[in-house]
């Protein structure tokens, strides 16, 4: 495994733990190539900027098509954009942390572990169904998923 990070301090910190991490910009093809992307089975994209993530996905799909892409999305809109780009299961940062926080809140409020887990699983199933519908509703948005999402009426899950 090779890790790239554009934050020099983070690179120094990770190297102290023996990680194989290099300073570099994951948006640059030559940097990815030097890190071994041509031979990679999997490339994981975890960046804070949705536009940068999309640029990296586009580049990896065209230059390193043998690699499976796993991509973190900040929120629902970013996830829908990535799904339209062929990323099957982007990991939604805000959703996953919300699920964990919701489960912890239920437990703190005295809800039994089994009931809390069942509630969270139910929310996850209903959310996945809604996400699938929203992906269909925004198909062909031409990169304007946010505007298409605004047209979708919010409903409680």
26 in a structural domain? yes
Locus of tokens 């039994």: 112
Q: Are 68 and 122 in contact (CB under 8 A)?
A: no
Domain that holds residue 49: 1-73
Locus of tokens 């946010």: 146
69 in a structural domain? yes
DSSP label of 112: -
Task: Tell me the two tokens of residue 57.
Answer: 């996905």
Q: Dmax of the chain from CA atoms?
A: 53
Coil, helix or strand at residue 70: strand
DSSP E strands, 90-153:
91-92
Q: Are 102 and 123 in contact (CB under 8 A)?
A: yes
127 in a structural domain? no
20 in a structural domain? yes
Per-residue pLDDT at 25: 85
- Each residue's pLDDT, cut to its tens digit, for the chain (157 residues) gives 778 888 888 888 888 887 778 788 888 899 899 888 999 999 999 988 999 999 999 999 999 999 999 999 998 989 999 999 999 999 999 999 999 999 999 999 999 999 999 999 999 999 999 999 999 988 876 656 667 766 666 666 6
Per-residue pLDDT at 13: 84
109 in a structural domain? no
How many domains is the chain partitioned into structurally?
A: 1
14 in a structural domain? yes
DSSP E strands, the chain:
3-5, 21-23, 42-45, 68-73, 91-92
Per-residue pLDDT at 26: 86
Per-residue pLDDT at 145: 66
Q: What is the dihedral of CA 26, 27, 28, 32, to 10 degrees?
A: 40
142 in a structural domain? no
Locus of tokens 């304007």: 144
CATH code where residue 38 lies: 3.40.50.720
92 in a structural domain? no
């Amino acid at each position: 495994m090779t890790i790239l990070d554009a934050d020099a301090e983070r690179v120094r910190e990770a190297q102290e733990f023996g990680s194989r991490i290099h300073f570099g910009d994951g948006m640059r093809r030559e940097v990815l190539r030097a890190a071994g992307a041509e031979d990679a089975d999997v490339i994981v994209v975890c960046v804070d900027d949705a536009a940068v993530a999309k640029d990296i996905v586009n580049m990896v799909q065209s230059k390193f098509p043998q690699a499976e892409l796993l991509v973190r999305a900040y929120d629902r809109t970013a996830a829908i954009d990535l799904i339209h780009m062929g990323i099957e299961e982007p990991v939604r940062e805000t959703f996953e942390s919300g699920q964990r926080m919701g489960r912890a809140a239920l437990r703190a409020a005295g809800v039994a572990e089994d009931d809390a887990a069942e509630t969270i699983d139910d929310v996850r199933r209903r959310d996945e169904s809604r996400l699938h519908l929203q992906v269909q509703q925004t198909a062909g948005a031409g990169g304007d998923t946010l505007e298409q999402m605004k047209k979708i009426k919010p409903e409680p899950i």
